[in-house]
Structures are given as C-alpha cells and as structure tokens.
Amino acid sequence: MEYRYDTYVRFPERIEDGQEVRMLLRDVNDYRHLPVRVRVYKRAEAHPDKEKVAVRTPLGIVRGLWAVEVLEQLGEEELLNTELHLCAEFKGGI
C-alpha cells in the first residue's frame, strides 16, 4: 500500500482509533511539513478512501500505516508548536 505522508508518533497506543488529533504530516515527495487536525484510523486497509500515513518511531522506523481524514489544515505558526513537532506525544484534547 502506497502512502503520501509520514509522521512521527512517540506513543501511538495513546491515540484511539477514530480519534481527532493535531499532528504534523510530512509529504514524502517534497518533505514539506503540514500541520493538520485529522481523524485517525489505525487500520489503513479498512479505509481505502482516506490518505495513508506511514507512522514512524522517534528513530524513524516505520511501525505501520494509518489512514487519516484531514479535517483542517492549521496555520503555519503551528509548525513551531512543540506538541505537534517531530516525535510529538499526544497529550489528550485537541
């Protein structure tokens, strides 16, 4: 299964399937970072109509593929938000 984006998640078990979270997606073609609010689906194959995202460990190892529904693209100022930055931890709440 191909993917267009990847992201780094330190504690993926803290993110529930179907949950809305804010995260940085990195476009694997041009390496641009996109701050977004998404709904996460941990079984990418069950959601063929959604964007596929490779989920990486903080060391860059691919853990698997998630599907995401982009709900909102956040402003560029969010690129500096350390909670969304690489290896960001989900802390509950949006």
Domain span at residue 17 reads 5-80
pLDDT at 72 over 70: yes
List Cα–Cα distances, 8 to 4, 21, 49, in angstroms. Answer: 14, 13, 22
Is the pTM here over 0.85, yes or no?
Answer: no
Residue 15 lies in a domain: yes
Rg (CA), the chain: 12
93 in any annotated domain:
no
Question: Looking at this protein, which amino acid is placed at residue 34?
Answer: L
For the chain, how many structural domains are there in total?
Answer: 1
At 24-43, the pLDDT tens digits run 999 999 999 999 999 999 99
Tokens of residue 93, six digits: 């709440």
Position 39 in a domain: yes
Determine contact, residues 40/12, Cβ cutoff 8 Å. no
Determine, yes or no, domain membership for 56.
yes
- Which tokens in the block code for residue 61? 């190892």
Q: Per the domain annotation, does 51 fall within a domain?
A: yes
**65 HSE (CA, 13 A, CB side):** 14
